[in-house]
Structure 1
Amino acid sequence: MATVLPDPSALLADPHAVYARLREDGPVHRIAGPDGLPVWVVTRYADVRQLLADPRLSLDKTHRLPGNYRGFSLPPALDENLLNMNPPDHTRIRRLVVKAFTPGRVERMRPQVQLLADRLLDAVAEQGRADLVAEFAAPLPITVICDLLGVPEGSRGDFRAWTDAMLSPDPAKPDVTNHAMAAMLTYFPQLIADKRRLPGDDLLSELIAVRDEGDRLTEDELTSLAFLILIAGYENTVQLIGTAVLTLLDHPDQLAAVRADLTKVEGAVEEVARFDGPALLAIRRFPVEDVTVGGVTIPAGETVMLSLASANRDPARFRDADRLDVGREDGGHLALGHGIHYCLGAPLARLEAQIALSTLLRRFPGLELDVPRDEVRWRPSIRARGLVALPVRF
């Protein structure tokens, strides 16, 4: 089955409409990827969920055949991370860091995150208006993840700029992206060297001790893991918070229900993650053998993209799938993945989004958009779903 990807502008403007058409047309499509090279896109919930946990689909790029889309490329010192690994290396490295993100340990961070959310809103309260992305949704997770890693406060503004440049590259300004990557590549080894000289009570110092005492991490694995924790801990959460606010503003009845009972915030965050989550596509995978999906055989070595956005709107799995329902009972969305590659930081992302949303609605009951709805812009990415800015008044 072959399909030509629609105009990229249509995919950026309304990815859910595009994926709905693909999903109706068939369970899997061979399309042209962002670089023009072929990629297989899987669209239906049952197939996506199964393949997320299927060991025949490898994250290791060495299984990719030449001439197929390979995804974002990084230097080796940043590329030896969990998004490019299978067991046993994936198991070994994930085991070292998962303890930092257990539900119990994350719950103990609640007072710290709540204090930060209130401080950020204190800073804009008297203005009566704000860009919620720049002044709230972005600084909240970048501060939390930098605290966790032990990144000095003076470097955090740089981290945010570098991360934004790498995650939403401007084709007209390739030098900006290259500079961001080079800056990361320079900064992390220096930060690790500083932590070796003067360890702190932070996750990076713990990982360095594991590397130096137990030799369970190579130097590239250590650098890449720190890089991944920072990127993933920032990107998905800022996008989830921003989209949650906009989505509720777009659905006044659901916003009213949450405002009337803030205990519904937890369900609202889960429903927004399903309805319009931060990841449109899971990380690319490469079959180690031929894999058949819905009667279509995907050859070994070709590139597979699993559409989380499409799966989460599949009417065969979710009742009224295109309707936002903060009280939805048919859970099981795939916004944070499934299987051994399930999002490591999911408990922390949930906590931050719940606190951000409940604090915002509690403190600013008159919250509304400060620009016409058609002026709200999304980042130019077919992989990630996030707002450029969210001007509001209160």
Structure 2
Amino acid sequence: MQPIDVTALIEDPHGTYARLREAGPVHRVTGPDGRPAWLVTRYDDVRRALADPRLSLDRRHALPGNYSGFSLPPALDANLLNMDPPDHTRVRGLVVKAFTPGRVDRLRVPVRRVADELLDAVEAGDERRTDLLESYAGPLPIIVICDLLGVPPDARQDFRAWTDALITPDRERPHLMKEAVAGLMGYFTGLIRAKRAEPGDDLLSDLIAVRDGEDALSEDELTSLAFLILFAGYENTVHLIANAVLALLDHPRLLSELRANPDGLGAAVEELGRWDGPSPLAIRRFPLEDMEIGGVRVPAGETVLLSIASANRDPRHFPDPDRLDLRRERSGHLALGHGIHYCLGAPLARMETETALAALLERFKNMELDVPRDALRWRPAIRARGLISLPVRW
């Protein structure tokens, strides 16, 4: 069994996945937690698997001892990333009644206002330099998510420590993960109680009120949905924005073209997500029966990891896949998933990233990295692709 080279997947994920992809479509690997898994690397296989009902997201279908994952209480675990139909169909159907395209569209002006306010604060500093992750790409999504959920400014927390503890657990300090889970649980329980007592014009209040005949979200489903919206919406968007900025700084000609033609931002965000998205791996899956993936037999209950990062650079589907091409055909990338588990917050993530880039490109005409390119460091995780910091000057 081939161990995953964690260092290589963090420092050079695309080169590492390219070698794996050419060596074969599916690999038997040992993950960072020492547990076995099947890693799927080629576009056609990954796309089919993302929509295959025989691959379950419900961890109850995992073989005993084969999968560890987060140890979340039921009130946080009853979310769409751990559900199959018919539960997934029912809960997602209720959520889309509240999380509508109209609600996302109404956020566009407030998001731009927040982006401009954050950049005002950056410009007000004495030096013409900043850590863009700390001052802009990080705060923007959390403010947007809190506005979406209806969290008042004086009740907002710094969620970064909690989400970091879950994404990159410190094995020498396991108490940090337990504290993060307890903090998130307590926070959302109190927030839902407050919204139930005093509803507002926000997504969480609408989720509390939503009904489908006699159906409704259970208390655990409601709490875990609030957790998922924060966790996925915040974490992924932070790194989608930061990765996109770094990619453009690495390609100054494309940056200049995009600044001259901001109408191309929508297509650019699609290509930037394909080229270096925030989620290298889809959520783990467990076969409900023995099955073949890419011609390889995978037994029921074993862990399957679908590499979105590898699929999105597969030359069998994307011509010249390692080239960042902002005019590339937009359809087909898997950065936001595929099938019934396609990212529920995809319209919000796209809008936030497009708005964040537009505000940044208008404000700073000559932005560049403030450290040598090889001094940048990535978060020590194979499930999340995100920088630790992004120092820039202008």
Structure 1 CA distance for aligned equivalents of residues 335 and 132 of structure 2? 22
Q: Shift of residue 206 of structure 1?
A: 1.7
Q: 1:211 to 1:160 in 2, by over 3 A?
A: farther
Structure 2 CA distance for aligned equivalents of residues 352 and 106 of structure 1? 10
Q: Is the 8 A contact 1:71 1:284 kept in 2?
A: no
- What secondary structure, in the 3-state scheme, does the structure 2 residue paired with 1:173 have? coil
Higher mean displacement: 240-249 or 211-220: 211-220
- What secondary structure, in the 3-state scheme, does the structure 2 residue paired with 1:41 have? strand
Residues 1:4 and 2:3 aligned together: yes
Structure 2 CA distance for aligned equivalents of residues 164 and 36 of structure 1? 21
Residues 1:130 and 2:130 aligned together: yes
Unpaired stretches in structure 1, ≥5 consecutive residues: none
Partner of 1:348: 348
Partner of 2:314: 314
Q: Is the 8 A contact 1:367 1:393 kept in 2?
A: yes
Alignment match of 1:110 (pick from 108, 111, 117): 108
Partner of 1:39: 37
Higher mean displacement: 181-190 or 54-63: 181-190
Q: 1:199 to 1:105 in 2, by over 3 A?
A: closer
Q: Is the 8 A contact 1:39 1:304 kept in 2?
A: yes
1:146-202 CA deviation, whole Å, 9 max, x = no partner? Answer: 111111223323333322332233333322222111111111111111112212121
Structure 2 CA distance for aligned equivalents of residues 132 and 38 of structure 1? 37
Q: 1:105 to 1:23 in 2, by over 3 A?
A: same
Structure 2 CA distance for aligned equivalents of residues 199 and 360 of structure 1? 35
Structure 1 CA distance for aligned equivalents of residues 174 and 76 of structure 2? 19
Q: Is the 8 A contact 2:99 2:203 kept in 1?
A: no
Partner of 1:293: 293
Name the amino acid aligned to 1:123: A
Q: Is the 8 A contact 1:277 1:309 kept in 2?
A: yes
Structure 1 CA distance for aligned equivalents of residues 77 and 359 of structure 2? 37
TM-score by length of 1: 0.96
Q: Is the 8 A contact 1:166 1:180 kept in 2?
A: yes
1:212-254 CA deviation, whole Å, 9 max, x = no partner? Answer: 9955222111111111111111011111000000011111222
Alignment match of 1:52 (pick from 47, 50, 53): 50
Partner of 1:284: 284
Name the amino acid aligned to 2:179: H
Structure 2 CA distance for aligned equivalents of residues 166 and 326 of structure 1? 33
Q: Is the 8 A contact 1:35 1:69 kept in 2?
A: no
Alignment match of 1:92 (pick from 84, 90, 93): 90
Q: Shift of residue 72 of structure 1?
A: 2.6
Residues 1:221 and 2:221 aligned together: yes
- What secondary structure, in the 3-state scheme, does the structure 2 residue paired with 1:157 have? coil
Partner of 1:303: 303
Q: Is the 8 A contact 1:274 1:333 kept in 2?
A: yes
Q: Is the 8 A contact 1:60 1:86 kept in 2?
A: yes
Residues 1:75 and 2:73 aligned together: yes
- What secondary structure, in the 3-state scheme, does the structure 2 residue paired with 1:292 have? strand
Structure 2 CA distance for aligned equivalents of residues 198 and 101 of structure 1? 20
Partner of 2:328: 328
Q: Is the 8 A contact 1:138 1:238 kept in 2?
A: yes
**Total equivalences in the alignment:** 392
Name the amino acid aligned to 1:234: Y
Unpaired stretches in structure 2, ≥5 consecutive residues: none
Q: Is the 8 A contact 1:82 1:90 kept in 2?
A: yes
Partner of 2:387: 387
Structure 2 CA distance for aligned equivalents of residues 334 and 49 of structure 1? 7
Name the amino acid aligned to 2:198: L
Residues 1:206 and 2:206 aligned together: yes
Structure 1 outlier segments of 4+, above 6 Å: none
1:308-353 CA deviation, whole Å, 9 max, x = no partner? Answer: 0000000000010011111112631000000000000000000000
Q: Is the 8 A contact 1:318 1:330 kept in 2?
A: no
1:251-272 CA deviation, whole Å, 9 max, x = no partner? Answer: 1222122122111211221111
Q: Is the 8 A contact 1:142 1:156 kept in 2?
A: no
Partner of 2:61: 63
Structure 1 CA distance for aligned equivalents of residues 253 and 99 of structure 2? 34
TM-score by length of 2: 0.96
Partner of 2:247: 247
1:279-318 CA deviation, whole Å, 9 max, x = no partner? Answer: 0000000010111022211011111010000000000000
Structure 1 CA distance for aligned equivalents of residues 211 and 159 of structure 2? 24
What is the correspondence of 1:247-286 to structure 2 with a 5 Å cutoff? 247-286=247-286
- What secondary structure, in the 3-state scheme, does the structure 2 residue paired with 1:230 have? helix
Structure 2 CA distance for aligned equivalents of residues 356 and 314 of structure 1? 29
- What secondary structure, in the 3-state scheme, does the structure 1 residue paired with 2:157 have? helix
Structure 2 CA distance for aligned equivalents of residues 104 and 198 of structure 1? 23
Structure 2 CA distance for aligned equivalents of residues 324 and 181 of structure 1? 38
Structure 1 CA distance for aligned equivalents of residues 180 and 310 of structure 2? 31
Name the amino acid aligned to 1:295: G
Name the amino acid aligned to 2:262: L
- What secondary structure, in the 3-state scheme, does the structure 2 residue paired with 1:158 have? coil
Name the amino acid aligned to 2:10: L
Structure 2 CA distance for aligned equivalents of residues 184 and 5 of structure 1? 31
* Aligned-pair identity (%): 66
Q: Is the 8 A contact 2:67 2:303 kept in 1?
A: yes
- What secondary structure, in the 3-state scheme, does the structure 2 residue paired with 1:39 have? strand
